[in-house]
Amino acid sequence: MDINSIEQKLQALQQSENSEFSSEYGKILLVDSMNLCIRSFAALSLSHPDSGEHNGMTLGTLQSLRAITETFRPTKIVFCWEGKNSSKKRREVLSEYKENRKVRKSLNRTFQWENLEQEQDSFRKQLYRVKEYLETLPVYQVEVDFMEADDVIAYVCNYLWLDKEKIIVSSDKDYFQLITDKVSVFRPVKRELIHKATMLEDYKIFPSNWIIIKTLTGDNSDGVPSICRGLGIKTINKLFPFLLEEKKFTVSDILDHCQKNVNEHRFYKAVLENKNNVEKNWQVMQLLEHNFSVDGVQTVKDALNQKPEFKPFQLRLLMMQDVINKQIQQFDSWNRLFVPLNWREENS
């Protein structure tokens, strides 16, 4: 199959998906799963009441899921995971991308581990256990090879359920670029909901132009370098005030502006001198222009078409096996919380 045929098939698939998912559901939560799990693992020093083994990720993730479900009362919850080789495409553009995550280092310094290997083994086991718990709950799980969680979330935001409210659950500011009248970002740590008005009032930038901020400032956690030292969001707001306009600007617009004003500020010259890095940063960090395969899109569609079941008996059994029923608050409230989620989805 040639490239034109593939593109035609992908466009047809996208159109059919938008029609299929356009009116079935109401408010949708899109959870950056690994972000939530890592945060719980790193922040909590909780341990199994009997064995003493760390269970902060397991307990913290479940508590967070219950909290956001109680807060937003959604009709649909989608947990988005990193797929196999999820960073490969971006590393082909920027070799340093997430390279620092390969370095073996401790995530939780509050729990007493015997060694780093023990901590990493606990992380893997708890991650597997979290997925087992989610299998008993009426939540969707999506994992696609060669796609990161933010790719999946971006695809859903950009192409599916366009008439429904979607809330991205993550502490990652990269998602700000996806904010629209229908899309917002909930940051669990600060318990703040970032929406379009927040971006305009607090950050002085139109949401889709947030990618320009990220492109120029970089992201140490992902191994994406800053274009030049000292270039922060306030400086960018002054140098590129048009980013507040309700219009999507591109890297070319930024470079053209720098060229016209190159003698006005040293940062304009620095951006032009680092043109290649600017273009690479934008390519690996932008979420508004997807580069997904037909198979990847189909996998997302298939996962979202398989309606998950609430399995209260299996959930209770897992909690009793892990003795979480002794730690989790209001253990018996899970039925009262998640049975309505099934009902809301069926009747929305």
**In this structure, are 92 and 238 located in the same domain?**
no
- Classify the C-alpha dihedral 90-95-97-101 as positive or negative: positive
125 in any annotated domain: yes
Instruction: Give the chain's domain count.
Output: 2
| Residue 322: closest CA among 53, 74, 67 | 53
Q: What is the pLDDT of residue 6?
A: 40
**In this structure, are 48 and 162 located in the same domain?**
yes
**In this structure, are 108 and 38 located in the same domain?**
yes
End position of a domain, from candidates 285, 310, 343: 285
DSSP 203: I
Distances (CA, A) of 152 to 109, 126, 292: 31, 23, 9
340 in any annotated domain: no
Q: What is the pLDDT of residue 3?
A: 39
Are the C-beta atoms of residues 268 and 239 closer than 8 Å to each other?
yes
312 in any annotated domain: yes
127 in any annotated domain: yes
**In this structure, are 68 and 122 located in the same domain?**
yes
Report the chain (348 residues): mean pLDDT per 10 consecutive residues: 44 47 66 96 85 90 93 94 92 88 78 89 95 96 95 95 94 96 94 94 95 94 90 94 94 96 94 95 92 88 91 90 78 78 62
* Amino acid letter, residue 304: L
State the residue range of the domain holding 274: 207-285
Burial 257-267 (b: 16+ CB within 10 A, else e): bbeeeeeeeeb
**In this structure, are 31 and 135 located in the same domain?**
yes
**In this structure, are 53 and 143 located in the same domain?**
yes
For residue 93, what is the enclosing H or E element?
helix 88-93
Tens-place pLDDT, residues 254-297: 999 999 999 999 999 999 999 999 999 999 999 998 878 889 89
**In this structure, are 318 and 224 located in the same domain?**
no
| Residue 55: closest CA among 112, 122, 128 | 122
Q: What is the pLDDT of residue 2?
A: 43
**In this structure, are 52 and 158 located in the same domain?**
yes
For residue 239, what is the enclosing H or E element?
helix 233-239
Q: What is the pLDDT of residue 103?
A: 65
342 in any annotated domain: no
CATH number for the domain harbouring residue 84: 3.40.50.1010
Q: What is the pLDDT of residue 48?
A: 80
**In this structure, are 280 and 298 located in the same domain?**
no
Global pTM value: 0.90
**In this structure, are 29 and 154 located in the same domain?**
yes
Phi, psi (degrees; rounded to nearest 5) at 179:
-65, 135
* 3-class SS shares of the chain: helix, strand, coil, % to 5: 55, 10, 35
Tens-place pLDDT, residues 54-104: 989 999 999 999 999 999 999 999 999 999 998 999 999 999 988 877 667
| Residue 137: closest CA among 54, 61, 26 | 61
Q: How far apart are the first and last CA of the chain?
A: 40
186 in any annotated domain: no
**In this structure, are 96 and 160 located in the same domain?**
yes
281 in any annotated domain: yes
Q: What is the pLDDT of residue 24?
A: 41
115 in any annotated domain: yes
**In this structure, are 148 and 21 located in the same domain?**
yes
Cα separation, 244 vs 217, in Å, equals 17
Q: What is the pLDDT of residue 34?
A: 96
